[in-house]
Amino acid sequence: MIKPSILRRWASRIRTKDRAAYVEYVRSTGGDDYSSTPGNLGFQMLLRDVPDGTTEIETLSWWASVEAIIAFAGEDYKKARYYPEDDRFLLTKPEFVTHFEVMVDARHDR
């Protein structure tokens, strides 16, 4: 059995034509912030193009504790964290993220 961790999930949409630029933008903003926060166990960004010319985005980040998430997101850690250029890309800006307790993790690359 693994020590439980916390998965933080955020989702939005962008224009598909902005896909490459947005990926680079996230790497240099949220990606750098995730990686430099003690207690972050990693993150992924998922993309899915849809026929209407938009792309669904999900970011998944794994955390050792709620305290580590607070160090990244602030005291109101259930709210999404946004960056200055997000309005350039995002078609929706959900106010909240979702957190899950990870009880089983069978990824082989750990």
Domain ranges for the chain, please list them. 5-102
Q: How far apart are CA 82 and CA 31, in angstroms?
A: 12
Q: What is the mean pLDDT of residues 74-87?
A: 95
The reported pLDDT for the residue numbered 105 is 78
Query: Is 70 exceeded by the pLDDT of residue 18?
Result: yes
CA 54 to chain centre: 18
What's the fold here for domain 5-102? Alpha-Beta Plaits (3.30.70)
Q: What is the mean pLDDT of residues 91-102?
A: 96
The reported pLDDT for the residue numbered 98 is 98
Q: pTM score, two decimals?
A: 0.89
Q: In the sheet that 5-15 helps form, which strands lie side by side, from edge to edge?
A: 40-49, 54-63, 5-15, 98-102
Q: Which residue has the higher pLDDT, 110 or 106?
A: 106
Query: Is 60 exceeded by the pLDDT of residue 27?
Result: yes
Query: Is 60 exceeded by the pLDDT of residue 110?
Result: no
